[in-house]
Amino acid sequence: MDHLGVGLEDEMKHEDDEPTTPITRVSIHPKHNHVIHCVIGFKNSIDVAALKHELSMSIMIKIPRFSSLLVVDPHDGTEQWKRTHVNLDNHIFIHHEHGHEVHDHDHEPMSDEDAINSYLADIAILEPMSLDKPLWELHIMHAQKCLILRVHHAVADGMSLMSLLWSLDDSSIRNVHDDGGRHHDVMMVSNNKNYHGVKGRSSKNMGMWEGLMFIWYSLVSVLKFIARFLWVKDKQTVISGIQGVEFWPRKVTTAKFQIGDMKTIKKAIPNATVNDVLYGILWCGLTRYLNSQHPTALRDGVQFTGLCPVNLRERPGVQEVSTMLSDLTTSWGNKFVMLLLPIIYSKRDMGALAYTARAKAVMDRKKRSMEARLCYKVGRLVFNCLGSKVGDLYYNLFSNTSFLVSNIAGPEKEISIASNPVNFIRVTSSSQPHAITLHMVSYAGKADLQIQVAKEVIHDPEFLAKCFEDALLEMKKDADNCAATKY
């Protein structure tokens, strides 16, 4: 969602004036302008008056961060959240172009999806959001029946925003006891117990060898994390950006998956998760893209390192916002840590399913360690020592890696906002010093992967999206064949 914090915990307090937290101060650092763009596609045309009425009565306006200014004390330079009156008219922007009026560079009419993605690419490089009002906006594209919620990352992370959307659901089928996707195993909204040790097991129940591996993996992972902050950097390749790449013109496209297909694949590999499948899709798709577009540019063994946010809340998935505002274990705001995800390039193409098996092996090593918690502790320690200067190291962590990937579980059932059914939910973000950012959101049995690229680096993101989609279909075919041979 979601742009991302580095092991820094954000917790809400019910006070009129709230001090800023570490992630807030990092998010507003001059090198960062992290804004989450949550795209909501509707079945029917958007009734602006009905939408405004719905929002004015909703819990969204009651959330302190959505109704507060970020102010800076002129005497000591400290920041705090100060409650203010919210005028919805100051936050709503109407995009009036009709579908047939939106054209590409060849002057051909754009499809609704292309028009939305083109608009996302444009607003991804806007100036920083103004501090004279709460840090969020609604952009309405009437012709495309689409709403784009722009939220500064200081306000919330992706999981908080997905819970907010779920809270706005006014459909008659909603059940407050429905988990809304809570049990969907995802990267950003994972059950953190899977990252605290050997799949949540107590260290006293480990064997000696298993305990030694636990210590070893934990030590190695945290040292790698610290090194990425300081000096270790991926080699410059055909998909790398350079300093300032976050300000380059962008292009956005969408890869579409079926959650059922991903679940079929994970069944073919013992103890695999949807995380492993997505990781395998990215590994396979990126490899095939490079082998097709740049067959002589790379040598075997080149590593592309991705950043992936992992939720640190005790309860995974979308939740009741009222609970998040009162329960520190599921608190509103930002509460996650970054993990490093390596992709090792090879000119020799493995079978598609083999990429998921390799991805699972990497993820299993992370689960057999204290990587998430230790990296979280490192982030806290660095901030306590360096204060706001941590923003520079935070920038290094991004610029020393090759891409960003997140995976957020949305509602499992269709929702409705202002009595208008939601067809899709997608997420992308801005101001990441990467040439590629990848954000997947699952919703009502489908998953959309938003691929945002610096178009001077990745010239054909549509082909990259097709590589990801084809990787999933080939994996499913192989998984079906494996299942058939068992009978």
- Percent of the chain at pLDDT exceeding 70: 80
- Which helix (H) or strand (E) segment is 23 a member of? helix 22-27
Model confidence pLDDT, tens digit, residues 32-51: 778 999 999 999 999 999 99
For residue 377, the SS3 value is helix
Alpha-carbon distance of 26 to 42, in angstroms, equals: 34
Q: Mean pLDDT lowest for which of 55-59, 300-304, 320-324?
A: 320-324
More confident: 441 or 389: 441
pLDDT at residue 192, as a whole number? 43
pLDDT at residue 381, as a whole number? 79
Alpha-carbon distance of 155 to 70, in angstroms, equals: 10
Q: What is the DSSP string of 46-114?
A: --HHHHHHHHHTSGGGGSGGGGEEEEE-TTT--EEEEE----GGGTEEEE---GGG-B-TTSPBPPHHH
Was domain 8-485 assigned CATH 1.10.1200.10? no
- Average pLDDT score, the chain: 83
Mean pLDDT across the stretch 410-414? Answer: 91
For residue 26, give both structure tokens.
Answer: 């990092």
β-partners of residue 35 are: 152
For residue 451, the SS3 value is strand
pLDDT at residue 96, as a whole number? 77
- State yes or no: pLDDT of 195 exceeds 70: no
Alpha-carbon distance of 219 to 151, in angstroms, equals: 36
Mean pLDDT across the stretch 289-300? Answer: 94
Sequence-distant (6+) residues with CB within 8 A of 368 are: 197, 198, 199, 210, 213, 214, 217
Model confidence band, residue 330 (pLDDT cutoffs 50, 70, 90): low
Q: Nearest CA to 391 among 19, 28, 3?
A: 28
Handedness of CA 347, 352, 355, 357 (dihedral sign): negative
Mean pLDDT across the stretch 277-298? Answer: 95
- Percent of the chain at pLDDT exceeding 90: 46
pLDDT at residue 31, as a whole number? 76
Q: How far is CA 292 from CA 274, 285, 381, 467, in A?
A: 27, 11, 44, 10
- State yes or no: pLDDT of 134 exceeds 50: yes
Q: What is the DSSP string of 109-162?
A: BPPHHHHHHHHHHHHTTPPPPPTTS-SEEEEEETTTTEEEEEEETTT--HHHHH
- Do 169 and 415 contact (CB within 8 A), yes or no? yes
Model confidence pLDDT, tens digit, residues 98-119: 554 566 666 677 899 999 999 9
Model confidence pLDDT, tens digit, residues 416-444: 999 999 999 999 998 889 999 999 999 99
pLDDT at residue 288, as a whole number? 96
Helix axes 259-268, 461-485, angle to 10 degrees: 50
Q: Nearest CA to 434 among 469, 406, 409, 463?
A: 406
Sequence-distant (6+) residues with CB within 8 A of 94 are: 48, 140, 142
Q: What is the DSSP string of 288-344?
A: HHHHHH-TTT--TT-EEEEEEEEE--SS-S---HHHHHH-GGG-SS-EEEEEEEEEE
pLDDT at residue 395, as a whole number? 86
Alpha-carbon distance of 63 to 16, in angstroms, equals: 11
Alpha-carbon distance of 89 to 173, in angstroms, equals: 31
- State yes or no: pLDDT of 186 exceeds 50: no
Residues in the chain, total: 487
Residue ranges of domains in the chain: 8-485
Locate all alpha helices (DSSP H) within 168-307, ordered by sequence. Answer: 208-230, 259-268, 274-293
Alpha-carbon distance of 170 to 204, in angstroms, equals: 48
pTM exceeding the 0.85 threshold for the entire prediction: yes
Buried b / exposed e along 276-308 (16+ C-beta atoms within 10 A): bbbbbbbbbbbbbbbbebeeeebeeebebbbbb
- State yes or no: pLDDT of 480 exceeds 70: yes
Q: Nearest CA to 383 among 75, 10, 1, 2?
A: 10
Model confidence band, residue 350 (pLDDT cutoffs 50, 70, 90): confident
Mean pLDDT across the stretch 91-102? Answer: 74
Q: How far is CA 259 from CA 121, 143, 385, in A?
A: 26, 29, 43
For residue 195, give both structure tokens.
Answer: 């990252």
Q: How far is CA 267 from CA 263, 270, 277, in A?
A: 6, 6, 10
Mean pLDDT across the stretch 66-88? Answer: 82
φ, ψ of residue 19 to 5 degrees: the values are -60, 150
Model confidence pLDDT, tens digit, residues 17-27: 566 666 667 77
Mean pLDDT across the stretch 164-189? Answer: 59
pLDDT at residue 182, as a whole number? 42
For residue 102, give both structure tokens.
Answer: 């939106």
Quick count: other Cβ atoms within 10 Å of Cβ 256?
A: 15
- Do 390 and 26 contact (CB within 8 A), yes or no? yes
For residue 440, the SS3 value is strand
Q: How far apart are the first and last CA of the chain?
A: 42
